[in-house]
């Protein structure tokens, strides 16, 4: 048995082959050497050969965008790569390169088809083994993709959700407002925004410490989440902006509907008692807090999302100036002083 045939006897793709078959296959293979970092083939290129790794280590990467590449696989001695290019004429799905000095055995597409024609039994064994190896690799890849999907979901959630409350964050709210604006806002399809913050919240942190403030924010977040889920508004977006600042987008609500919702939330916050214990053995304290609300509606108060936010914030400032723990709405003509580019 030749040296190449002896090597092939250790290759999973050649399992079950006789010595004669291994020698036959060896005769179709051409040796190839690569220096470290040398490219074997590139993603997107047409393929004309498959390869067995004899010594060294090959790597493969794919381009995620024009500047970022992701390593996807490593090929160790006994591995094969590039078989889809000669079996189906597929383009290369990744860029293959030498991680170390590498020796390969190449099977050209023309020789592969000669092998199938002249030695069909040998070709069936080779293809069957490669198919089983591919199935095992796909199982491994499926597990990896499952992990990647779970990681991606966690990453996506962290990108749009405020961890302290479970509400959406400012970024998601801004995107939701732009999306709603993009679908069109007119008198038949209004859009309301409720802005609110907690009254004298800084006193809680100063008098009882940040853990007490965190407990208040968490409880308010849970309350807002609960009320938003049962309010009956389609596509409602409750969000914590920062600190004790919150906003709730009601995509197809009028100012009157938003006012009724905000008043219900204001009363629920006023009636909420939060129990807090500074540490083990400490006396349990009951906290209560109130909130001030500002409401604006497009198109009555604003022609666009930016003006809608400004109008709601202005109404919130009015609520705080008038004694707090109340709901105030932007005046219907508020847009006149917020948007100097009112369309004719």
Return d(Cα 278, Cα 233) in angstroms, integer: 38
What's the confidence (pLDDT) of residue 122?
87
What's the confidence (pLDDT) of residue 295?
97
| CB contact at 8 A, 141 and 212 | no
Residue 183 φ/ψ, nearest 5 degrees: -80, -5
Q: pLDDT tens digit string along 241-262?
A: 999 999 999 998 999 999 999 9
Q: What class is the 3-155 domain?
A: mainly beta
pTM as predicted: 0.55
- Superfamily per CATH, domain 170-338: Reverse transcriptase/Diguanylate cyclase domain (3.30.70.270)
What's the confidence (pLDDT) of residue 343?
35
Q: pLDDT tens digit string along 185-212?
A: 777 789 999 999 999 999 888 888 888 8
Among the residues of the chain, which ranges form H helices?
3-8, 19-27, 83-88, 109-118, 120-160, 170-182, 201-208, 210-229, 255-270, 305-321, 335-338
Return d(Cα 294, Cα 1) in angstroms, integer: 86
Q: CATH 2.60.120.10 region(s) of the chain? A: 3-155
Q: Which residues of the chain have pLDDT under 50?
A: 333-344
Q: pLDDT tens digit string along 87-123?
A: 666 788 889 999 999 999 999 888 888 888 888 888 8
Q: CATH 3.30.70.270 region(s) of the chain? A: 170-338
**58: its two tokens:** 């090959």
């Amino acid at each position: 048995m030749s040296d190449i045939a002896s090597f092939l006897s250790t290759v999973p793709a050649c399992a079950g082959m006789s010595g004669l078959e291994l020698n036959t296959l060896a005769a179709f293979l051409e040796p190839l050497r690569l220096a470290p970092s040398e490219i074997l083939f590139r993603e997107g290129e047409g393929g004309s050969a498959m390869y067995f790794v004899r010594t060294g280590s090959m790597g493969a990467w794919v381009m995620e965008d024009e500047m970022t590449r992701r390593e996807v696989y490593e090929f160790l001695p006994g591995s094969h790569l590039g078989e889809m290019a000669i079996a189906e004429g597929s383009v290369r799905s990744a860029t293959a390169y030498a991680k170390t000095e590498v020796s390969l055995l190449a099977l050209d597409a023309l020789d592969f088809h000669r092998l199938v024609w002249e030695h069909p039994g040998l070709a069936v064994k080779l293809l069957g083994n490669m198919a089983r190896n591919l199935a095992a690799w796909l199982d491994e890849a499926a597990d990896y993709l499952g992990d990647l999907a779970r990681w991606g979901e966690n990453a996506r959630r962290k990108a749009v959700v405020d961890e302290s409350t479970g509400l959406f964050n400012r970024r998601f709210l801004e995107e939701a407002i732009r999306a709603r604006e993009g679908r069109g806002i007119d008198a038949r399809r209004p859009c309301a925004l409720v802005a609110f913050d907690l009254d004298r919240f800084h006193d809680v942190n100063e008098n009882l410490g940040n853990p007490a403030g965190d407990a208040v924010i968490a409880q308010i977040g849970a309350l807002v989440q609960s009320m938003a889920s049962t309010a009956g508004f389609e596509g409602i977006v409750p969000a914590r902006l920062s600190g004790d600042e919150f906003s709730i987008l009601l995509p197809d609500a009028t100012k009157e509907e938003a006012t009724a919702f905000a008043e219900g939330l204001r009363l629920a916050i006023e009636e909420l008692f939060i129990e807090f214990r500074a540490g083990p053995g400490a006396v349990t304290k009951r906290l209560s807090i109130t909130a001030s609300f500002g409401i604006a509606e497009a198109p009555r108060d604003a022609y666009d999302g930016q003006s809608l936010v400004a109008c709601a914030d202005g109404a919130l400032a009015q609520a705080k100036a008038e004694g707090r723990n109340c709901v105030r709405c932007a005046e219907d003509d508020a847009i006149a002083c917020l948007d100097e580019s009112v369309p004719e």
